[in-house]
Structure 1
Amino acid sequence: MAITRHATARWEGDLKSGVGRLNTPQSGVFKDTRYGFNTRFGDEKGANPEELIAAAHAGCFAMALSAQLTEAGHPPTFIESRADVELSMDGGPHITQVKLTVRGQAPGVSADEFRRYAEDAKTNCPISKVLAAVPISLDVQD
């Protein structure tokens, strides 16, 4: 069984003065959410691709860690995760690293065990796997 999710983006104008809109029709979380040059490379409020990657990674990682702990018989009381996506401008914009930070509590799990479960979740959550450089295909439509 496969599940397909989608989002759309529309960009109008040149890179620096143009504006984009993001939509996630299935969930409705984004509805014409603005993004642009200054929300990505400056400090203007609005969405940006790196923040969206960070949110996806933090959420996926937390769910994977919860699944691992629960499967081991230690459902977590809570998990707080953070993903920092670093965008370098050296040689043109590119993501140089993602740093995951996690804090949580699972009854009956030592700090060392929690660390082992977190390492496994970091390696095996679907978003971690995508960010490890999987092939990307392209379908160009008229």
Structure 2
Amino acid sequence: MKITSPIEKYTGRSVIGPTAVEFKDGVAEVDELSAGQRAYLEARGYTVEDEAQEDEGLFDPASHNQEQVVEYLERDDIDDEERARVVGAEADGKARKGVREWAEAYVAKREAAAKEAAEREAAEKAKQDGQAGGVDGGDAA
């Protein structure tokens, strides 16, 4: 597992419960952490990444704090399928309120935008239909 310190470039030894961890330039590697150690670190701003998730190239919300998860979800370079995967993994894991609220707001915003687009399209169609029905092509004299 890779642990990233909230203090950029930190080099030194930290003791996390029974585990001594050596940081170099803000990063430490450990074989494993207990759930309690992981929670302790994440609550203090550390990022813990599982190598299996890194190898797959998948974002693991459990390895990031709530702010980092929301920042990831707000990125323009991920699609809604990836957002759904991350939100689902979050719900199955830590189920943090802030991530759930972000997801609910995102869905509501997307639904409102789709409704607005449909209403604009319907109004434009009605306008076009009205214009086509009002033209008779000749004089009525």
TM-score when normalising by structure 1: 0.28
Structure 1 or 2: more strand by fraction: 1
Give 1 or 2 for the bigger CA radius of gyration.
2
More helix by share: 2
TM-score by length of 2: 0.29
